[in-house]
Structure 1
């Protein structure tokens, strides 16, 4: 007569940054066969299952603190979900197994598997927030309350160019229409996009990026994910939570979250962060970083993970 024992995932003894990068890659690879089939949930489901399995044996005490699926009612790694063997460093991750599921479902460029990692407690915990207003740029010190024309002028002067050379990306939603119109009225070149918030923020944060500013209300999970990469790239970012419904506002109020407070990178994420991305469909992260499906890119360091 045989006895059954609880299954324990095998310990993955590779360096932790490689394990997390591989989990991101495997999520993307699992989603690729579903590209163009029109089924967003199938794309998300395949990526989530692959990432969860890859994380199970990581030599870490891991916790998911920011995820994307709850907002979209899609398959997800759950907020508060634990992963790893329980040994090794205590880490938190902000994760979206596929950022841009609609893009992947339609076989459009810009979908990627993304993960940011930091020591325990280093990320801003956004709780039930779904939406966030943000400014991302490589020009520091912008005023989130300033008129758009003033912001465009400041960026132009910092770059030594005219307003016509300033490039602004705004997610094409009714909530952001006034910002997009104001940027165009100020003379800037405006890139309106439907999906792909993270991709544009990386392009704006890079020192040699081909965007100067990403502005407007987008997903709050993407905002925290983006912050880790922006910080590692030496960019600048400010944000505040921006509920888009009475129900979301009520949840945030019940959780004691101040939606009027503007936070910078120091509060969004700690200085010791790493960011991993793998393309599901072709992705453009700026000059010299154009990824085909299955190709990966990372920024930041996990040297702190070995300091036990």
Structure 2
């Protein structure tokens, strides 16, 4: 039987020593490794998503500071006597989002919306027939939180804020249709639409970004604000959490806390997504805004 060293020669391959074979193998591994590194680098240059990271630039720091200031200001104004009425127009909008969440899920689960009424003192109420209550009841808090999170995400960019304001207009028109007999709701919705339209004409809609952020923060944390209302100033209309607890067990405080945690999660995801998706500076955003439905 021929020794192993004679097999390559018998098969017609060049005659290599063991050291040469090991050295050639090392070179092949190193070459493969360098090819993989170069491929990853080329992927980073060709794919902007891989190059995108969560570093926060100065523009985004300002946006985060504005969000933090909004949270503090709203928390104070929402609960202070007399001063709380300064939030009345925006509170009406957030209540409208809340009731819109009830209404749209009622329609999606086979129900029918009879009417919507809004009142910052008593809380909103959606009169509906049919639907799946296990979905429609939490849809008020979670729906307004989701809308708020989307508004916060869009608030990181002027063009995105313009798109958000158009969607808001559609939501307001639907709410207006369901609340056509409630004059307080009609006036509030019309004022909200007027505010959004006016902001389009201020510094190429830069003011619209801060309005969208403000409404987004209020709406994203509405479940927390509303729980404070329930604990401190009992509203006339029964809260969704208490009705849900009566039908499906647990306590209203427990469900309120759960929905609040979900709302906070929505908000955190929206902020992280906004940082990742919109790294443009203020000047770059203004230039982009001039090319999208300019005013």
User: If the length of structure 1 is used for normalisation, what is the TM-score?
Assistant: 0.27
User: As a proportion of its length, which structure holds more helix?
Assistant: 2
User: As a proportion of its length, which structure holds more strand?
Assistant: 1
User: If the length of structure 2 is used for normalisation, what is the TM-score?
Assistant: 0.28
